[in-house]
Structure 1
């Protein structure tokens, strides 16, 4: 692809969510979402194969449908109130349509079916953008209008997402699909606390991004896309096994790692608001998430797949791939639990 074209694409991907975050005008937030959608579509089809074309088609149709619903709600709200912002007088049906459209963009259940398939069909760098940066704009819109939305609908979508993210990842062998279902589950946790403490939603999003980026960096370093290929890291980069184990356990929310912080804070906040049953179900589903992360660790670290003798010399060969940010992000993703009081306040 032409370097100038790549520069324009990445600039548009960066500016789309930025415009959405800083805008109070709902039409401008919609423009930011559209910029992000149109810019990432060429990256989805960068690999010229049927799977990437199928993934790009699914992504475009889903996101275009969500954008159409959001524009429909914004236009009707302007017709009724004469303003481009949502107010207390905004019709509840329009707010629910907005919530559904944003849920489709985030991949929340029951609108999540496109996310694992699209993530599986695209390259690892584009998958990283899809599961991290592309989540920021819809969550920023929810952060602005959460006080107007129906808490019951929000909690229903959150609970369904946590369940689907936990159950869907159990039988997966593809690393990208596992990360996609992990994203669905984490988005459910973020949405669950939104009506009560939106600052915790942003904290959870930040920690999720810090954990996801180094995980994709490790997959990129070893060109690993399946559990079997990840299991060969003991031949190529043995030190990566310990890092991968720590990151996966942190993603699962195991104390005393960083990933435990948002789950602990969210559960505490929900219990303060008398959501006992929902909190119990969320904690049970967190154990399912931890189970398939642990199974991935077992397959990669505690088993040794048969390989030829030549591959045992791979650790002594020079590795030309260097990730300068990997060590910093791994430390942030595993050792920042002592900063919990400052992050939660």
Structure 2
């Protein structure tokens, strides 16, 4: 991609997100969402094959439907209340707004586009779709959290945790597996949004911090399937250990960082007399734990700690060790920040 085109696309993505996060008018927020959507489509379709074009088309159609629902809901709200203020959303219009924002983010049941889009694009673009592209709709959901129906948020969140864990078990493609992992983490965020919005933002922030070095390491090793994960230890034990710790942290195992937001979420749900929901969320998270542990097993326990000769070493990039050295401090900071979170 030409540098000027890449600069314009990056500028559009950043500007669209900033417009949404700083907006207090529904039309301004809608324009920011549209700018953000249009800017990332060329990045999804930049590969010259039909799969990337199909992914870009699916992304455009689903995001356009969600944007139309957002515009219709905000217009209906302005007609009923006489105000375009984002914080003045009534309960009737929030019934349309919440599913539209859930479709924007890739939450269940409108999540089917996310695995297909991630499978047809590069790992770097998949990182943007699962992290940066969620900032704008999550900001809107955070803004209207006081005016939304908590039962709908709890139902969407619980369904996202279930589908995210159940769908990830059957995947051998890493990008699809991370798409379902994103849906599951998004379920924890949406569930908490109606109870403690600040903890919901903490949860999604920690997920983005853990996902960034994970996707970058997968990109540097050209890892696309679970089978290719078995050669990491023989080529770079450091990368294999870091990836294993990040996967375990995303699973929510103590004492890693991913355990902190889940503990806070369950504690607040119990404090708000939602013990049954907290128990169901904790049990459903075991589904996600299955494919996280399977990936960790392939990384660290399927090959001896020796330099093995593999016929697939040609797929690894020459700058693999340099990238690992640069990402090691970031990854270690992300997965060992737990003591600071508990203070």
The TM-score, its normalising length taken from structure 1, stands at 0.93
Query: 2:229 and 2:164 mapped to 1: Cα distance?
Result: 22
Query: 1:102 and 1:135 mapped to 2: Cα distance?
Result: 10
Alignment-derived partner of residue 340 in structure 2: 339
1:302 paired with 2:301, answer: yes
Three-state SS of the structure 2 residue aligned to 1:231 is helix
Cα displacement string for residues 18-74 of structure 1 (whole angstroms, at most 9, x for unaligned residues): 110011111111111111100000011000111111111111000000000000111
Query: 1:314 and 1:68 mapped to 2: Cα distance?
Result: 47
Three-state SS of the structure 1 residue aligned to 2:223 is coil
Alignment-derived partner of residue 139 in structure 1: 138
Alignment-derived partner of residue 153 in structure 2: 154
Query: 1:58 and 1:319 mapped to 2: Cα distance?
Result: 34
Alignment-derived partner of residue 122 in structure 1: 121
Q: Could you tell me whether the CA contact under 8 Å between 1:235 and 1:313 is conserved in 2?
A: no
Quote how far apart the aligned CAs of 1:196 are.
Answer: 1.3
Structure 1: which 5+ runs fail to align?
none
Query: 1:223 and 1:118 mapped to 2: Cα distance?
Result: 18
Query: 1:313 and 1:30 mapped to 2: Cα distance?
Result: 47
Cα displacement string for residues 128-184 of structure 1 (whole angstroms, at most 9, x for unaligned residues): 000000000000001111000000011000000010011111111011111101100
Alignment-derived partner of residue 85 in structure 2: 85
Q: Could you tell me whether the CA contact under 8 Å between 2:107 and 2:187 is conserved in 1?
A: yes
Query: 1:224 and 1:202 mapped to 2: Cα distance?
Result: 30
Alignment-derived partner of residue 36 in structure 1: 36
Query: 1:87 and 1:276 mapped to 2: Cα distance?
Result: 30
Query: 1:288 and 1:227 mapped to 2: Cα distance?
Result: 18
111-120 or 323-332, which deviates more: 323-332
Quote how far apart the aligned CAs of 1:304 are.
Answer: 3.3
Q: Could you tell me whether the CA contact under 8 Å between 2:251 and 2:292 is conserved in 1?
A: yes
Q: 1:128 to 1:313 in 2, by over 3 A?
A: closer
Q: 1:318 to 1:50 in 2, by over 3 A?
A: closer
Report matched runs for 1:43-54 at 5 Å.
Answer: 43-54=43-54
1:326 paired with 2:331, answer: no
Query: 1:101 and 1:309 mapped to 2: Cα distance?
Result: 50
Cα displacement string for residues 252-271 of structure 1 (whole angstroms, at most 9, x for unaligned residues): 00000000000000000000
Query: 2:290 and 2:249 mapped to 1: Cα distance?
Result: 12
Alignment-derived partner of residue 68 in structure 1: 68
Report matched runs for 1:182-331 at 5 Å.
Answer: 182-304=181-303, 310-311=309-310, 319-321=318-320, 322-323=322-323, 326-331=327-332
Q: Could you tell me whether the CA contact under 8 Å between 1:235 and 1:312 is conserved in 2?
A: no
Query: 2:273 and 2:103 mapped to 1: Cα distance?
Result: 29
Report matched runs for 1:92-111 at 5 Å.
Answer: 92-111=91-110
Cα displacement string for residues 318-337 of structure 1 (whole angstroms, at most 9, x for unaligned residues): 94243365123212221111
Query: 2:312 and 2:99 mapped to 1: Cα distance?
Result: 53
Alignment-derived partner of residue 18 in structure 1: 18
The TM-score, its normalising length taken from structure 2, stands at 0.94
Three-state SS of the structure 2 residue aligned to 1:200 is helix
Q: Could you tell me whether the CA contact under 8 Å between 1:116 and 1:177 is conserved in 2?
A: yes
Structure 2: which 5+ runs fail to align?
none
Q: 1:222 to 1:87 in 2, by over 3 A?
A: closer
Q: Could you tell me whether the CA contact under 8 Å between 2:221 and 2:317 is conserved in 1?
A: no
211-220 or 90-99, which deviates more: 90-99
Quote how far apart the aligned CAs of 1:283 are.
Answer: 0.4
Query: 1:297 and 1:66 mapped to 2: Cα distance?
Result: 36
Q: 1:86 to 1:240 in 2, by over 3 A?
A: closer
Quote how far apart the aligned CAs of 1:310 are.
Answer: 4.4
Number of aligned residue pairs: give it: 338
